[in-house]
Amino acid sequence: MENANWQVLVLMLLFSGVILWKISSARKGKELYIRPIPGLNAIDEAVGRAAELGAPLLFNPGLADFQNIQTLAALGILQHVCKVAATYGTRIIVTTNVPVMVPICEDVMKSSFNEAGRPEMIHASEVRFVSDRSDLAALANSRILIEEKVASNFLFGAYDYTSLIFSEGGQIAGCMQIAGTADYYQIAFFIPSCDYVVMVEELFACSAYLSRQPTMLGSVVGQDYGKLVLLILVVIGVLAATIFGHGNPINLYEQVMNLK
Amino acid sequence: MWKLLAKLDKVDRKVIYLTLFIAAGLPFFVSIRIPVKPWKETEAAFNLVDSCPEDKVVAICSNWTAGSQGENWGQYEAIVAHCMMKKIKLVVFSLDGDAIAPQMAEAVNETQARKYGRQYGVDWVNLGRTVGAPLTMAAIGRNLKSVFPRDLRGYATNDSAKLPILQGVNGCEDFQILWAIEYQPNVDWMVWLDPSGTTPIAFASAGIVTTSWYPYLSSGQMKGMMAGIRGAAEYEDLLRQKYGKRYLDSDPRPRGGRLLVPLAFGHLVIIAFILIGNLGTLAVKRMKRSAQ
Amino acid sequence: MNARKRLIAFVTFIAGLYFVLEFIVPPTVPLVTVTGVALSKRLPVFQLETASGQNAVVEADPSVTFYVLRRSKSGTFEPKPQRSREIQKGQIVTVRTRTVTLGGFGPNGERLDSNGNPIVLRQGEVPYTTDGPDTSLPVWSFEKLMGRVGPDGEAILAMLDEGEAINIEIRDAKVADVDRGQIVLKMNGESRTVPITDYSVIMLNKRRSQPEEVEMHSVQVGDTVSIGPNTWLRDQRDTATQFYAVVGTLALGMGLISLGVVNIRKIKKRESEWYTAFLFFGAIVIGVLAGLGKYELTGTRSRAFSDIIVLQVINAMGSSIFSLLAFYLASAAYRAFRIRTAEAALMMGTALIVMLGQTPFGMYLTGWMIGTFEFLQLPNVAGWILRTPSSAFVRALQFGAMLGAIATALRYWLNLERVAGMGDD
């Protein structure tokens, strides 16, 4: 409506078109390559460690609401973690500071355990709403890590200043930690305390990387093509500003026009 | 010597905590003043607030709470003091913030109002809290009173007798500037508040997240910024430079300037330990090499 | 696709469609909209039937505001301002035709406004006071407006002082007929009369910014305006916002229930530190009391209690938790920031410059560099790093994050994402 303008329309069509084109190529059977993401490869290792120690896993899908895209990406990872945990018989505790995430996470876990053929695991695992405040959620997380003697801690989603309390709590408890967020200024806090960190766009590639489904792989490749389009636009913009930029000392256009 | 230095590679956590505690705590007992030089982002925001005409208001989305008050309280206090000192009308609300955010903001508002003799409903109003970004941001931009039919005290926002400040305030066209004050303000303000993009927006956030705002500052989408405690101290310094005694009389040692000193010392401690740790790592390497 | 999955896919699509349309569909229907320079206008005229049976005619000029009764959060009906284009035939409205500031009295005892003009009431109009606890108090009748004595022996309006304001309103009137008016536009060198219909939206086009919807009376001669049919979604935005807010608030109850279940189980099974569960329930009671006191006036007991809990207890505890960060940061930085490669050395150097540049110590260390070398002062170097290379890197990260978000959102919107619990069992 008032926010509508043709530039947004063109960009949306361009990026969506590229992503959908790549999805359709993938569905037609084209082989697509995604580089290895160490943090995601380590999920199996983390779950295995918990199984060996006979200890549970702790998963936190971030501090944001369900509508946040990072939370949606985190749910995709939760699904994979549940399936792997089901094969090992490892208990999962999911903590959240958003009330509406409780039934959503329970649903994801139930479906994943059913798919893995271990529906009884839902009774051993649980989803806990800890507090709606991020700082209290971080402390509650740290307490659960110690009380339940958690072996592996997963922190995926949107985080704020409490990210260091989340991760350092796990570091002190001696857990293996894998974190992932698109909030790039929190990555600096995760890196010193976590064993693996999944950064920014890698988080959005998680579902595709873990499931290896053609549709999802296609969308990840489409993302990269979208970045290429942006790069071309940036280069064109830089050149245009250089050649035509008003007040630019090396404005070639003005120089040419003045000569004429 | 290397053997001694190698011990620095594994300094106990407790030593680090104690040193930081002393370094950050000492300035609260020993009066230390550090001069500040305002950065241009703070100056830009200050000038925009300072030039607010009578028919416009300064709108503040105040989402800061107990956790982020270290960074945001001083920022909020500086802006409120500025507005109340100059009798600039202030409209405060909270969007998707903590439930106690309006109360914390109101405590500051009331303190500053007592200092400068300002009246609720005439010079400032606190509209309370609502949820639902980003759609609510657009609704605030179109019609503020439709989002907040009542203020924090329960007065109807249409009641021009109780809240004359809101009489001419409809939407974003009546905002001189919108401040978003919290640990990490929502970027959606720049997109959703004003589709025409003409309403000036400034963020007052924690220092760590300010790296994200520089692209918006350079493109002009954001008109100013306060970067953490440093930003608060700079804003206070600008107030001091412009209004001198009038500002200092009401608050000789404002919060931002007071907290900047422990912050600076804390930074020094962290830098020192990083260098110490690297020295220890170097010593360990040397020892291993000489052992071979 | 089973029914559940289909329902989830449909609801997701509709919800996402709204946001897509917000950024793609203009407020008026393209190709049907006309754009031109305004030459003249005829304002909308509303024919009203008042509750007392009188007929009133109101022209929608800038001083006129229309109100429609809407149910407020407290459950009572309150008048809410409404745009004139949204007022339809048959609707019950309250129209505030003007607000008048009272002046003195004329030679015949008639009440004057602040400009010295007699206050003239048109048919159907009733003056109302604007102050006092009940702004709906009518100023008796027109005779009383003239300053004459009321039935209880007191001069009512005469008691209102010079400088006081009254609202002149037509309350609870039914809209009998609407003439939306017209605008004459200059388009392609010719003038064209554009009638305004029930569904027309007038957008004022501004140079270098987005068009803005305006009322007819705001259009000035020479303004470039676009007039076209409204897209229905536009008027439902406030409803969508309220729905959004309601759902968000509903979710709070779910969280409380979850916490309650966990703590009750703790007490029943006597799990470790089960007595802390009682603290939880006690804290809920205290929190509710503190929350109720939040809205009281300063000085009352309940407000004082609320302030103690929020400003002194929660505030202090929250700060303590935040202060943990400083200590954790110091130990994490000491543990992790070791220079093992050239890139790590570069990162370390940059971090030191930016950290020192942002504190006054940077100025102490390099403040002596003046003149030609002033740019080498640590705050200036730190500022340049933050504004130039750091901004570029942040933009690049934001591009990547944005595209990832678009791709993920597209997958969810078009039901291509295979997540359990989203219908894909």
Q: What is the DSSP string of chain A?
A: -TT--HHHHHHHHHHHHHHHHHHHHHHTT--------HHHHHHHHHHHHHHHHT--EEEE--SS-TTSHHHHHHHHHHHHHHHHHHHHT--EEEEES-TTHHHHHHHHHHHHHHHTT-TTHHHH-EEEE--SSHHHHHHHHHHHHHHTT-SEEEEES---TTHHHHHHHHHHHT-EEEEEES-HHHHHHHHHH-SEEEETHHHHTHHHHHH--HHHHHHHHHHHHHHHHHHHHHHHHHHHHHHH-TT-TT-HHHHHHHH-
Convert the pLDDT of each residue in C255-266 to its tens digit. 777 778 878 888
Higher pLDDT, A180 or C325: A180
- The stretch C275-294 carries a mean pLDDT of 86
Looking at residue B153, its pLDDT comes to 87
Write out the residue range of the structural domain in which residue B286 sits.
2-26+266-291
Judgement on whether residues A250 and A159 belong to the same structural domain of the protein: no
pLDDT exceeds 80 at position C347: yes
Asked whether the predicted pLDDT for residue C74 surpasses 70, the reply is no
Name the nearest CA neighbour of B60 among B72, B74, B38, B76.
B76
**Do both B82 and B183 map to the same domain?**
yes
From chain B residues 135-154, the ones with a CB under 8 A of any chain A CB are 138
What pLDDT sits at residue C143? 47
Test B67 with A162 for CB contact under 8 angstroms. Answer: yes
Interval C129-164: pLDDT, tens: 765 444 555 555 444 445 544 444 334 555 677 777
| Domain-embedded: residue B144 | yes
Q: Are residues B65 and B168 in the same domain?
A: yes
Confidence label for C270 from pLDDT (cuts 50, 70 and 90): confident
Tell me, yes or no, whether A138 and A205 share the same domain: yes
Length reported for chain C: 425
- Chain B from 208 to 267: CB within 8 A of any C CB: 210-212, 214-215, 217-218, 227, 230, 260, 263-264, 266-267
Cβ–Cβ gap A161/B138 under 8 Å: no
For residues A192 and A204, membership in a common domain is answered with yes
Are residues B9 and B79 part of one domain?
no
Are B209 and B244 found together in one domain?
yes
Look at chain B and report how many structural domains it folds into. 2
Flag the least confident range among A10-19, C231-240, C276-285, C372-381: C231-240
Nearest to A185 among B66, B196, B212 (CB): B212
A135 at interface of B, judged by CB pairs closer than 8 A: yes
CB contact at 8 A, C11 and C425: no
- Name the minimum distance, in Å, from the CA of A174 to any CA of chain B: 15
Give the per-residue pLDDT at C172: 85
Determine whether the interchain pair A219/C411 forms a contact, defined as Cβ–Cβ distance below 8 Å: yes
CA C43 – CA C32 distance, rounded (Å) = 22
Contacts of residue B292, Cβ cutoff 8 Å, sequence gap at least 6: none
Chain B neighbours (≥3 Cβ pairs under 8 A) are A, C
- Determine, yes or no, domain membership for A253: yes
B48 lies in the same domain as B168? yes
List CB contacts (< 8 A) between C20 and chain A: 12
Contact C406 A2 (CB under 8 A): no
B161 and C316 within 8 Å at the Cβ level: the answer is: no
Contact A1 C27 (CB under 8 A): yes
- Torsion angle of the four alpha carbons C219, C224, C230, C233, in this order, in degrees rounded to the nearest 10: -100
Look up the domain containing A183 and give its range. Answer: 38-211
B183 with A135: Cβ contact below 8 A: no
Question: With contacts defined as CB-CB under 8 Å, which chain B residues touch A133?
Answer: 65, 67, 98
Which of C130, C295, C363 lies nearest to residue B153, judging by beta carbons? Answer: C295
Tell whether A241 is covered by a domain: yes
- Sheet with C34-42, side-by-side order of all strands: C190-195, C182-187, C34-42, C224-229, C200-204, C212-213
Q: Which residues numbered 139-168 in B keep a CB inside 8 Å of some CB on C?
A: 139, 142-143, 145-147, 149-150, 152-154, 156, 158-161
A38-53 burial by CB neighbour count: b if 16+ within 10 A, else e?
ebbebbeebbbbbbee
Instruction: Assess if residue A202 is contained within a domain.
Output: yes
Is B270's CB within 8 Å of C355's CB? yes
Residue A1 lies in a domain: no
Confidence band for C114, pLDDT divided at 50, 70 and 90:
confident
Torsion of CA C403, A78, A38, C341, to 10 degrees: 80
Q: What is the pLDDT of residues C21-40, one digit of tens each?
A: 766 666 667 678 888 999 99
Whether residues A111 and C397 touch (CB distance < 8 A) is answered with: no
pLDDT in tens, chain B (292 residues): 878 888 888 889 899 999 999 999 988 888 887 778 899 999 999 999 999 988 889 999 999 988 888 899 999 999 999 999 999 999 999 998 888 899 899 999 999 999 999 999 999 999 999 988 788 898 898 889 888 988 988 888 888 888 999 988 888 888 999 999 999 999 999 988 987 788 999 999 999 899 999 999 998 999 999 999 999 999 999 999 998 887 877 667 788 888 899 999 999 999 999 999 999 999 998 888 888 7
C238·B139 Cβ contact <8 A = yes
Beta carbons within 8 Å of B272's beta carbon, 6+ residues apart: none
> Which of A110, A128, A182 lies at the smallest CB-CB distance from C401?
A182
Note the pLDDT of residue B125: 96
- Chain C: residue whose CA lies nearest to A219: C407
Gap from A132 CA to chain B (nearest CA, Å): 9
Same domain flag for A12 and A100: no
B261 within domain boundaries: no
Residue A12 tokens read as 């949306």
- Quote the minimal CA–CA distance from B153 to chain C in Å: 5
Residue A52 lies in a domain: yes
In angstroms, rounded to a whole number, what is the distance separating the alpha carbons of residues A90 and B158? 59
Say if residues C255 and A132 touch (Cβ distance below 8 Å): yes
Return the number of other C-beta atoms located less than 10 Å from residue C398's C-beta: 17
A77 and A192, same domain (yes or no): yes
The answer to whether residue B258 is domain-embedded is: no
Give the one of C253, C321, C416 whose C-beta lies nearest to A215's C-beta.
C416
What is the DSSP pairing of strand A92-96 with strand A57-60? Answer: parallel
Which of B65, B145, B277 comes nearest C337 by C-beta? B277
Q: Quick one: pLDDT at residue A209?
A: 87
Is 0.90 exceeded by the ipTM? Answer: no
What total number of domains does chain A contain?
Answer: 2
> A223 and C421: CB-CB below 8 Å?
no
Which member of C24, C237, C322 has the closest CB to residue A135?
Answer: C322
User: In Å, how far is C219's CA from the nearest CA of chain A?
Assistant: 18
- Chain A nearest-CA distance from C227, in A, is 14
Contact A112 C318 (CB under 8 A): no
Q: Which amino acid is at C334?
A: Y
Closest CA to A141 of A98, A172, A179, A96: A96
Q: Are residues A196 and A130 in the same domain?
A: yes
Tell the residue number behind the tokens 């003009």, with chain if given: C117
Does B158 lie in the same domain as B52? yes
- Residue A133 is nearest to which of B98, B183, B196, comparing CB atoms? B98
Tokens of B181: 């004050």
A121 plus A198 within the same structural domain: yes
Q: Which of C73, C206, C298 sits opposite B196 (nearest CB)?
A: C206
pTM for this one? 0.77
Same domain flag for A144 and A189: yes
Question: Based on the domain organization, do B20 and B40 belong to the same domain?
Answer: no
Contacts of C399 in chain A (CB under 8 A): 227, 230
Residues of chain C with Cβ-Cβ distance to A219 below 8 Å are 407-408, 410-411, 416
Looking at the structure, do residues B12 and B62 belong to the same domain, yes or no? no
pLDDT digits (tens, 9 = 90+) for C181-221: 999 999 888 889 999 888 888 888 876 556 777 888 888 89
Q: Which residues of B touch C300 (CB under 8 A)?
A: none
C421/A107 touch (CB, cutoff 8 Å), yes or no:
yes
Between chains, do B67 and A185 touch, taking CB under 8 Å as contact? no
Contact A219 C410 (CB under 8 A): yes
Interchain contact, C361 vs B198, CB within 8 Å: no
In this structure, are B20 and B88 located in the same domain? no
If you measure CA to CA, which chain C residue comes closest to A5?
A: C24
In a domain, B45, yes or no: yes
Is residue A58 located within the same domain as residue A23? no
pLDDT of residue A53: 93
Residues A219 and A197 in one domain: no
My answer on whether A174 and A242 are in the same domain is no
- For B211, the closest of A133, A135, A185 (CB atoms) is A185
Nearest CA in chain B to A160: B184
Q: What is the chain A residue with the closest CA to C254?
A: A99
Low-confidence ranges of chain A (pLDDT < 70): 1-4, 247-260
E-strand spans in chain B? 57-62, 90-95, 124-130, 175-181, 201-205, 224-227
| Spatial separation of the C-alpha atoms in residues C176 and A113, rounded to whole Å | 64
Verify that A83 and A156 share a domain, yes or no.
Answer: yes
